[in-house]
């Protein structure tokens, strides 16, 4: 058996097209467009790349986009002032502070400063709390929210299914579990969360109708750990040495793709799987925030 591929690239392209249509309709109705501000502190090349991609995608969808780049030694107070300014800016409906922040800045303080109504990353404790208490009118973290969309849009509704999530981070594993536990579309699953202290991981993952892996370690899930016919979503994004390639590295997931594809019914590739969904959901969240703040 060879699994069907879940192409995050294609699903993300569809969502970005839908976002563009929503932006056009909102502009016709209100005379305004949703606005996204990204804040980058320092010159970390990976962060620069991510922020650049987010701004480019926002512009392509017709979203007004502002990038604020601050020097690496920006004092915490100054950054908090920038965030307050964006909170008060009526042209901005989504605020994203690119993580990680330099060591002298308290990340938690900065995330707390973002107006929860503009928190398109879904990391503010108010949104985390709402999501974990089952609210549906909440800005959800982009990566797990993207995974839900991938499941729904390939006919793999998690309702009534046993979903095993491997990983309990605040960015992926925990919000993933909260989304899957919510009542209604994209939720209503029976959820098990495993992590580094789970003994015999395979015994747990083999129970999964849907297996979602967010660990950050290549080869974490091998074919014998997957129930035949399961849906496998690989969030992992890892660089491994590949001296034979021009770049010198390859990007792989946490799942042994070549072996697991012969056991699973559906599987996401890496790259081209969950990765492209994150930006698509950021744009979608920005339009949701606009609708909430401005009305539709």
Compare residues 89 and 132 and give the one whose CB is closer to ligand NDP.
Answer: 132
By CB under 6 A, is residue 212 in contact with ligand NDP?
no
φ, ψ of residue 253 to 5 degrees: the values are -90, -160
56 an active-site residue? Answer: no
By CB under 6 A, is residue 156 in contact with ligand NDP?
no
- Cα separation values, 48 from 81, 90, 108, Å: 21, 26, 21
Q: With the C-alpha atoms ordered 152, 156, 161, 166, is the resulting torsion angle positive or negative?
A: negative
109 an active-site residue? Answer: no
Residue appearing with tokens 């060879």: 2
By CB under 6 A, is residue 7 in contact with ligand NDP?
no
Compare residues 191 and 215 and give the one whose CB is closer to ligand NDP.
Answer: 215
What three-state secondary structure class fits 197? coil
Using the rule CB under 6 A, which residue among 20, 217, 250, 292 binds ligand NDP?
A: 217
Per-residue binding letters, 190-209, with ligand NDP (x by CB under 6 A)? ----xxxxx--x--------
Spell out the residues 6+ positions from residue 150 whose beta carbon is closer than 8 angstroms to its own: 6, 8, 11, 156, 233, 268, 273, 274, 277
Task: Determine the Cα–Cα distance for residues 70 and 79; give it in Å rounded to an integer.
Answer: 8
By CB under 6 A, is residue 216 in contact with ligand NDP?
yes
By CB under 6 A, is residue 148 in contact with ligand NDP?
no
Return the range that interacts with ligand NDP (CB under 6 A); candidates 36-44, 50-58, 111-119, 212-220: 212-220
Please work out the total of residues on this chain that contact ligand NDP, with binding judged by CB under 6 A.
Answer: 26
Residue appearing with tokens 């015999």: 200
Instruction: Work out whether strand 231-234 and strand 249-252 pair parallel, antiparallel, or are unpaired.
Output: unpaired
98 an active-site residue? Answer: yes
The one catalytic residue in 115, 119, 121, 288 is 121
Compare residues 33 and 57 and give the one whose CB is closer to ligand NDP.
Answer: 57
Residue appearing with tokens 């690989």: 234
Catalytic residues: 54, 98, 121
Where do contacts with ligand NDP occur on this chain (CB under 6 A)? 143, 166-169, 171-173, 194-198, 201, 214-217, 220, 235-238, 274-275, 278
């Amino acid at each position: 058996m060879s699994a069907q591929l879940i192409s995050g690239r294609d699903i993300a392209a569809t969502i970005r097209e839908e976002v563009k249509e929503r932006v056009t309709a909102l502009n016709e109705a209100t005379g305004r467009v949703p606005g996204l501000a990204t804040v980058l502190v320092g010159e970390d090349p990976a962060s620069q790349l991510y922020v650049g991609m987010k701004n480019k995608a926002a512009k392509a969808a017709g979203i007004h986009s502002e990038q604020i780049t601050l020097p690496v030694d920006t004092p915490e107070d100054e950054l908090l002032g920038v965030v307050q300014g964006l909170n008060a800016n009526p042209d901005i409906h989504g605020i994203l502070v690119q993580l990680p922040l330099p060591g002298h800045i308290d990340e938690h303080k900065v995330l707390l400063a973002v107006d929860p109504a503009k928190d398109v990353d879904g990391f503010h404790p108010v949104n985390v709390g709402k999501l974990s208490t089952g609210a549906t009118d909440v800005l959800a973290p982009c990566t797990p929210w993207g995974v839900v969309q991938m499941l729904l849009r390939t006919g793999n509704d998690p309702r009534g299914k046993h979903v095993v999530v491997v990983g309990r981070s605040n960015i992926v594993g925990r919000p993933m579990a909260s989304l899957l536990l919510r009542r209604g579309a994209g939720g209503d699953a029976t959820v098990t969360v495993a992590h580094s202290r789970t003994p015999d991981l395979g015994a747990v993952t083999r129970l999964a109708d849907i297996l979602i892996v967010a660990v950050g370690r290549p080869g974490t899930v091998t074919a014998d750990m997957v129930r035949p016919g399961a849906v496998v979503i690989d969030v992992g994004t890892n660089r491994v040495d590949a001296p034979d390639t021009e770049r010198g590295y390859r990007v792989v997931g946490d799942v042994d793709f070549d072996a697991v594809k012969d056991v699973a019914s559906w599987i996401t590739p890496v790259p081209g799987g969950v990765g492209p969904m994150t930006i698509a959901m950021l744009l979608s969240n920005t339009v949701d925030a606009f609708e909430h703040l401005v009305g539709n």
